[in-house]
Structure 1
Amino acid sequence: MALPVLAQAQTVAPVREGDRTLGSPTAPVTLTVYLSATCSHCADWHTNEFPAFRAKYVDSGQVRVAFRDLPTPPAQLAAAGAVMARCVPEDNYDAALDALFKGQQAIRDAGGARPAAVAWLRSAGEAGGLTLEQMNACMSDAAGFAEIEARAGQSVADGINSTPSFLINGEKVDVEAMGARDVAAFEPLIQPLLAGR
């Protein structure tokens, strides 16, 4: 039975090869999050709402989170941020993502100027434990950018066209109907799935 704020659409694979994930692979619920390194709403959710969600559901083994990149304007900068975050070891992905989101305002204030962009990307690489040499290799890897482009194309084909967007066990969450994106807003969607395991 579909929940009221789940959009009526095709079911999408909750986790795909190449997704960065947090939480137990055997969790009964998967939250798939589509985000962009340059999306201010994504930064707000990741910085202000996700920590409580993670503490309640992910750290307890109830929910696994899969992150998918969908670069938004400025798309080249967002793609570069996604590539850098994906270059770090998977265990450090969340730290790299956090650095990108925390550095958004500085890059906006600089108008996306190259020195600010380089510092922003470097902060993510450093947070993820990369050396300068590894960061340079990462940003020079055309295959990494091609992968982000292909994954973004798949997201659009899945009916995802904005960030942040969410799926719960492969069903799209109607963010407009849900309103808030805090842990309390997700509870009515997740609790019935946990109760039915």
Structure 2
Amino acid sequence: MNGQLFIASYEKADMNRRIQGIKKPENSPGEKNRIFRGLIGLLVCVGLLMINPGSGQAVVEDDVRVLREDMEQVKKDLAEIKSILQSAIKRPSPEKSTGTVGVTGGAMLGETDAPVTIVEFSDYQCPFCQRYSLTVFPVLKREYIDTGKVRYVFRDFPLSSIHPQAGKAHESAHCAGEFHKYWEMHDALFQNQKDLTVPSLKQYAADLGLDSTTFETCLDSGKYQADIQQDVDDGAAAGIRGTPSFFIGKSGSGDSITGTIIRGAQPLAKFQTIIEQLFSDHGSDAGGVSPESDESPPARLP
């Protein structure tokens, strides 16, 4: 009787727990099965976690190794490139303040027996050359060249890599020289420097009264290209790297002069100082005087 009452009481309590959402005691068979299955699942997850981190770490270590190898190769490549560049780049020698240059082949103004000679290396498309030609040169011409004190020689030095129209402009001056109009074309080219196309060069020749057919045949033939290149080579050999550049020295009986080098479009006073000193310094064997520092750099090749 007492046993039946106990069982009835337990079933009633169990019913109340179900109604109230209260779980069975943990030691119930169903609960034990669920706990057991959960533990098995947990162990499986832990096992997977223990396996996967190892695999991920191996992948990361492999990636790091590859990156290190790539970095080492990059370092080697950079070192090789640096070595090649260092061997290829040559430090330019200091620019000379005096030098020797030929006077033949260029267009000349003044008396051949003038005591002082100026040799100019110029580029018709160079803005510094234009500034010198329009400002300083006319004064030198009036005061020294036209008075028989200075012989002036103009030599070609087109910087074709940065002034693509300069080459043909220099050719046009030589073609005009066949009509004894070299210096007139020289002036026209600097006055119209912004337009040095071939059609314009032909128009400038026509404006000077040159025979169009003969001039155009000369310009189109390229007959003076070799002479112009010879001037460039001579200038480079004499230490010229940019335009305008000048040699000012005592005239001699030979085909060259040794004198002071002026680089860039310098003020008139610099030219006057050197010229006047050459007139008075008859005992000097140097053929030139030391110029002041450049105030305006010449146009240069890159």
The answer as to 2:237 corresponding to 1:157 is yes
- Comparing 23-32 with 141-150, greater Cα deviation is found at 141-150
- Comparing 129-138 with 38-47, greater Cα deviation is found at 129-138
For residue 153 of structure 2, give the secondary structure of its aligned residue in structure 1.
Answer: strand
Match for residue 263 of structure 2?
Answer: 175
For residue 25 of structure 1, give the secondary structure of its aligned residue in structure 2.
Answer: coil
Following superposition, the deviation at residue 192 of structure 1 comes to 1.8
| Superposed CA RMSD | 2.3
The answer as to 2:168 corresponding to 1:126 is no
Match for residue 102 of structure 1?
Answer: 191
The 8 Å contact of residues 107 and 153 in structure 2, kept in 1 or not, is answered as yes
Q: Give the direction of change, closer, same or farther, for the CA distance of 1:9–1:53 in structure 2 (3 Å limit).
A: closer
Query: C-alpha distance in 2, partners of 1:122/1:196?
Result: 46
Match for residue 111 of structure 1?
Answer: none
The 8 Å contact of residues 34 and 70 in structure 1, kept in 2 or not, is answered as yes
Following superposition, the deviation at residue 20 of structure 1 comes to 0.1
For residue 61 of structure 1, give the secondary structure of its aligned residue in structure 2.
Answer: coil
Following superposition, the deviation at residue 149 of structure 1 comes to 1.7
Query: C-alpha distance in 2, partners of 1:54/1:101?
Result: 16
Q: Give the direction of change, closer, same or farther, for the CA distance of 1:161–1:148 in structure 2 (3 Å limit).
A: same
Which amino acid letter does the alignment assign opposite residue 270 of structure 2? A
Q: Give matches, 1:2-151, under 5 Å.
A: 7-13=96-102, 15-16=103-104, 18-73=105-160, 74-89=162-177, 91-105=180-194, 107=195, 117-126=197-206, 128-151=208-231
- Comparing 125-134 with 94-103, greater Cα deviation is found at 125-134
Q: Give the direction of change, closer, same or farther, for the CA distance of 1:100–1:46 in structure 2 (3 Å limit).
A: same
User: Structure 1: any 5+ residue segments left out of the alignment?
Assistant: 1-5, 108-115
Match for residue 110 of structure 1?
Answer: none
For residue 11 of structure 1, give the secondary structure of its aligned residue in structure 2.
Answer: strand
Find runs of 4+ consecutive structure 1 residues off by over 3 angstroms: 6-10, 73-76, 126-129
TM-score, normalization: structure 2? 0.54
Q: Give the direction of change, closer, same or farther, for the CA distance of 1:92–1:142 in structure 2 (3 Å limit).
A: closer
Q: What is the aligned length?
A: 178
Query: C-alpha distance in 2, partners of 1:12/1:57?
Result: 21
Query: C-alpha distance in 1, partners of 2:97/2:136?
Result: 25
Q: CA-to-partner distance for each residue in 1:20-56, whole Å, 9 max, x for gaps?
A: 0100001000010110111111111111111111111
The 8 Å contact of residues 97 and 261 in structure 2, kept in 1 or not, is answered as no
Q: CA-to-partner distance for each residue in 1:112-131, whole Å, 9 max, x for gaps?
A: xxxx6134312442355421
Match of 1:186 among 258, 267, 271: 271
- Comparing 24-33 with 185-194, greater Cα deviation is found at 185-194
- Comparing 91-100 with 68-77, greater Cα deviation is found at 68-77
Match for residue 112 of structure 1?
Answer: none
For residue 38 of structure 1, give the secondary structure of its aligned residue in structure 2.
Answer: coil
Following superposition, the deviation at residue 194 of structure 1 comes to 1.7
Q: Give the direction of change, closer, same or farther, for the CA distance of 1:195–1:124 in structure 2 (3 Å limit).
A: farther
Which amino acid letter does the alignment assign opposite residue 242 of structure 2? S
